[in-house]
Structure 1
Amino acid sequence: MKRFMQVILAALFVIVPFNQMANAEEANCETDEWSEESTYTEGDRVLHDGEIYEAKWWTQGENPNDSGEWDVWKVASECTNDGEESLPVWSEQDTYEDGDRVQHEGTIYEAKWWTQGENPDDSGEWDVWEKIDQHELRVMSFNIWLGGDQVSFDETVRAVEEADADIVGVQEEGGNLDRLADELGYYADHNQEIISRYPIIDVGHPDYVYVEVEPEEVVAVSNVHLLHDPYGPYDIRDGFTVEQVIGNERHHMMEMRSRFHSLTELQKDDVPVFLTGDFNVPSHLDWTEETKEENFNTVVEWPVSMHLDDLGFRDSYREINESPLEFPSYTWTPGDPPGDINDDEVHDRIDFIYAAGTSITENSEVVAEVGPYSDIELENWPSDHRAVVSTFTSTSVPAPEEEVALSQMEYEVGETIDVNFYVDDQPSEKDQVAAIYPKDGDREENPLLWNYTGSNNQEPGEPKQEGTISFDEDSVSSSEWPLPAGEYEAVFLADGDDERATSSFEVLKSSESATLNVEPEQKHGEPIQVEWEDATGFPYDWVGIYPIDESPDDISSLQWQYLGGERQGSLFLDGSWGDTDVLDPGEYRIYMFENEGHDILTSTEITVVDE
């Protein structure tokens, strides 16, 4: 069973390879209603008539609504809406410097120099504010349920047309991606499984592609389809504790860890980023105190949505439809087939469109069957998921001229290192890809490893616009291989000496001090808590349990879990994954294995007793 799930996970990785923002309910925006009797000092925040204000100095009895440009109160712009601020709303009280960007009345502006109180709408050709070119984009996330028969396929096409989507992140395309794109007259990309009415630039990065919204102007798009099992809402329904469910979420966090890094790096470079997907995990914005009665009397801070929020990614649907009670938006499920729903089904919102960077969310709607959860309705809905479409006003950035990307974040010592490269125009036969050690090391030193892009060796070849350079024992001299454990950067050198792009990676070695801590006696039917230390940190280190007299090389694990790339931590072996839900009384051995394989790092014995 372990091997079977590995195949599914590997397949998923091949298939798949943030309006205003800050809420009074956010940690840094928690505040009480303004009181005429209370005294406030500099920095104190209050809530008044739905707005958050911050005191500039000591005050008592001064109504925030009557606070002018030079008065005591100013609007706390980072606390006027949902989420963590990335594109603030212009405020008359705030000061701005050269390069600062704001949104005002649905338009994005950039300051040309220091300013305060100058309304961007009144900014003429020579004034302080410059209007930034922007585009209206309708982005859709759509699990098409394999596309189905001809009728279902035709309805899938109609759903995209009714949604008027410019970019669609597709899940479960079932071999129909090109067919769908052709029918709509769109472009298609199999790296991210997206279709788009605009051209797609695939630079070889496993986490995203660029969509060319104007000639030579792009936004970045990423699309995911995370594992469907274990599924937290079902486990809570079936009696699992919140601690167990959160522990199991390391699987989804592991799947997202590369995107957490790479998409945040894009955001730091001012690239507008859109992340679509069937996440197979709900949002912390839905499982709240307000909705406890709808969710098994449970509040869950789902890690994936929490971490995306921390990184500045905005849940576009919840930006527009704030109340999870009024707008539950159950994308799972209209039924399987639509209309056929199990009595114990758990309905939830698991299909999302996240945005980061300089974009404004204008609207977000559910596209599905005729019914209470749909904004755009179709008579013959073709999928077991409802779709989501969001409208954005977005900036764009110049298309990349060169890019270099690793196939993964970590490699084992001696593992083949694949480096993808992309050149927009006029590649040279002397273009190189080099692995530099250490990370951020002296570029004046000779690289540890390098090859020409046109030949995948150290002899010039025919210029190539894109491709993959592989470093391994066959392509590198024995004195330079393997790279020792450490942090490295892959560097693209145009014409042999002009550094144009870099990408980081790490080489890890096997752990020599890994430990497992498990109570030696376990009660029959109860989950087994496993604590570990000094794992390797590889994303696919895992633990599995076997009968004590069986070899892991001979049989599948009875129960197992990934460690999620964590070097230390705690998890439960509870039957979520494996061949056996409940272990029979008897003796067993729990092994820690390295990075998806069967190389044993450590093990420990337990006895399951019947009490």
Structure 2
Amino acid sequence: MKLLTCISLSFILLTGNCILCRGNDIEASQSLSVSVMVWNIWHGGNDADLKEDGRPHVIDIIKSVNPDIVLLIETYGSGKMIADSLGYYFHLIDKPGTPLDNPHTNLSILSRYPLGERVDFYNYFNVGGIEVYLNDTTKMMVFDTWLNFDPWDDEPQLLGKTPDELVKWETSGSRPKEVGAILKGLQPFLDNADDVPVIVGGDFNIWSHRDWVESNKGINNDLVVNWWTLSAFEDAGLKDAFREKYPNPKHNPGISWGMPGVNDDHRIDYILYKGNKLKVLDSQIRKVDYNETIVIGNKSAMFPSDHGYVVTHFQLDL
């Protein structure tokens, strides 16, 4: 590792190119860009409702997006193969020693940067993290998350509940336990986020209070709802990257989940972050119905998931 670093640094000095800055001008190399993608790939990218094996399309889509770090949900045995196909480092969020193609493992992290110490707490199925080394002295903490979907309704605005009753209903399942345990495990890293930035992404299976606001209540049956789950992450200091970049949910709804022919389109997949060294440059959410064609740049692929992907480009000050 140290020998490779010396060779790389020598190459940088000889060529005048700052590889670690990923294209930034060498005279202004006090920052670098890092892109993070979150994607629930739906039963390992090979759900039974797909017209063909979706895993090659998962690979093609990730390759076209070209993120630095990928947080996969519903990995289910496909993650290592996807990582190897893309040339990424791979971390399976499961008990150490678990086979990397275990078909029952939910979460995994892919990175084009080297990985450091893993972070395990609460349930492997719900959360896990790892250090990502952007260079010899700069790292980020990256956590992948899945929250239980119960209780759920495709159209919660039509349940006949007041905003307060909706929040009470939202917290009637396992979410308070899961969120409490996750935030407790994250707290030491959040406390240190100005030194080592923190990314928390995943499929939260719940709506955001930043979407159910006054300016957007026309599509929510005139309801303004301070949904508890995302509020709790925000209260812990984590910012919603997509909504920070696009604060008006009416103009940029950012739909990340929905099934064809059903009125159930919602934004439930998120990239959250904390750390004063991080700045959001751009954030996108792309989704089409599964089995349909998505075009990214000049490339097309069959979309293999019921979830869209979220990708955020950050600037990280060194």
| TM-score strictly above 0.5 | yes
Q: 1:248 to 1:199 in 2, by over 3 A?
A: farther
Q: Which amino acid aligns with 2:254?
A: S
Q: What displacement does 1:295 show?
A: 1.0
Q: Which amino acid aligns with 2:268?
A: I
Where does residue 455 of structure 1 map in the other structure? none
- Say yes or no: does 1:220 pair with 2:151: no
- Residues 55-454 of structure 1 mapped to structure 2, 5 A cutoff: 133-146=30-43, 147-148=45-46, 151-191=53-93, 193-206=108-121, 207-231=128-152, 234-250=155-171, 251-269=174-192, 270-333=195-258, 335=259, 340-342=260-262, 345-357=263-275, 358-369=277-288, 376=296, 378-395=300-317
Q: Indicate if the aligned counterparts of 1:224 and 1:279 stay in contact, CA closer than 8 A.
A: yes
Distance 1:301 1:232 in 2: 17
Distance 1:193 1:297 in 2: 39
Q: Which amino acid aligns with 1:311?
A: A
TM-score of the two chains, using structure 1 as the length reference? 0.40
Distance 2:84 2:59 in 1: 10
Greater CA deviation, 355-364 or 197-206?
A: 197-206
Q: Which amino acid aligns with 1:364?
A: S
Q: What displacement does 1:315 show?
A: 0.8
Per-residue CA deviations over 1:164-196 (Å, capped at 9, x if unaligned) read 111111111121111111111111111251111
Q: What displacement does 1:245 show?
A: 2.8
Rg (Cα) greater in structure? 1
Q: What displacement does 1:216 show?
A: 4.7
What is the RMSD of the two structures over their aligned residues, measured on CA atoms?
Answer: 2.6
Distance 1:268 1:225 in 2: 22
Distance 1:233 1:135 in 2: 40
Distance 2:314 2:182 in 1: 21
Distance 2:301 2:288 in 1: 6
Number of aligned pairs? Answer: 258
- Residues 567-586 of structure 1 mapped to structure 2, 5 A cutoff: none
Per-residue CA deviations over 1:64-115 (Å, capped at 9, x if unaligned) read xxxxxxxxxxxxxxxxxxxxxxxxxxxxxxxxxxxxxxxxxxxxxxxxxxxx
* Higher normalized strand content (fraction of residues): 1
Gaps spanning 5+ residues in structure 1: where? 1-130, 397-611
Q: Indicate if the aligned counterparts of 1:263 and 1:273 stay in contact, CA closer than 8 A.
A: no
Distance 1:364 1:181 in 2: 23
Identity across the alignment (%): 29
- Residues 506-521 of structure 1 mapped to structure 2, 5 A cutoff: none
Q: What displacement does 1:199 show?
A: 1.8
Residue 308 of structure 1 aligns to a residue whose secondary structure is helix
Q: What displacement does 1:275 show?
A: 0.8
Q: What displacement does 1:306 show?
A: 1.3
Runs of 4+ with >4 A deviation: 374-379
Where does residue 434 of structure 1 map in the other structure? none
Residue 301 of structure 1 aligns to a residue whose secondary structure is coil
Q: 1:261 to 1:242 in 2, by over 3 A?
A: same
Q: Indicate if the aligned counterparts of 1:141 and 1:168 stay in contact, CA closer than 8 A.
A: yes
Distance 1:323 1:265 in 2: 32
Q: What displacement does 1:239 show?
A: 3.1
Comparing both chains, which one has the higher relative contact order based on Cα–Cα distances under 8 Å and sequence gaps of 6 or more?
Answer: 2
